[in-house]
Structure 1
């Protein structure tokens, strides 16, 4: 038996601010909202969400330490320009990487998101 990635949720201390960041700054579309979570539309594969911390998770500690989430985009350079213009904090500028052109930003909650070119 093996497991398949089915759902990814990143914790946030401020769900409304995270929803605004992912929609306004990164251009994601909301697929649905659940109590304590916002799920974003995706092109295929696993669903992606931001959510309030699960019970038992220490919300005072930094989120995102030691985790990097990779997301595919058709044009990494164009998307980089779009998110920078919207105020994203890029920590690794566009460059060639193991999966093609890529760059990394850090969300206000400290999550590293790497966007790589898929076409």
Structure 2
């Protein structure tokens, strides 16, 4: 299978509230807008908020977002009224994680890869 691009789709209960959360509260940049939906840049992928749903999210699904500085990100989001569903902590696998949720309760895992972690690569620091 050759993958050309990918998106994670969320069908929220309240399209306007969820779009505002991802756009204004999280500050994600908009890639595309169309009647009934918005596509946001999400690192190497995209997040599409589209349509509507009545059941809400599954607890088995989470959106994983890597950030550069987890404490600074949490402080920025706190200033915008976001309260973590779970405070930041170092996981057994070595990543620093905190959880927040969107208006429907979709779990969003905010992740910082510590400098000493083997996953950490930052091409800007290459000489």
Aligned partner of 2:87 in structure 1 is 93
Any stretches of 5+ residues in structure 1 without a counterpart?
A: 54-58
SS at match of 1:61: coil
Aligned partner of 1:61 in structure 2 is 55
Q: CA deviation at 1:4?
A: 8.9
Q: CA deviation at 1:5?
A: 7.8
Aligned partner of 1:107 in structure 2 is 102
- Matches of residues 30-69 of structure 1 in structure 2 within 5 Å? 30-44=30-44, 46-53=45-52, 59-69=53-63
Q: How many residues align?
A: 113
CA-based RMSD of the aligned residues comes to 2.2
Higher strand proportion, which one? 1
Any stretches of 5+ residues in structure 2 without a counterpart?
A: 114-119, 121-127
Cα offsets for 1:57-103 (capped at 9, x unmatched): xx322224321111111111110111122112311101112352110
Contact 2:29 2:40 in 1 (8 A): yes
Deviates more, 1:91-100 or 1:102-111: 91-100
4+ residue segments displaced more than 4 Å:
1-5
Higher-Rg structure is: 2
- Cα distance in 1, alignment partners of residues 94 and 50 from structure 2: 28
Q: Is 1:24 matched up with 2:24?
A: yes
Contact 1:64 1:112 in 2 (8 A): no
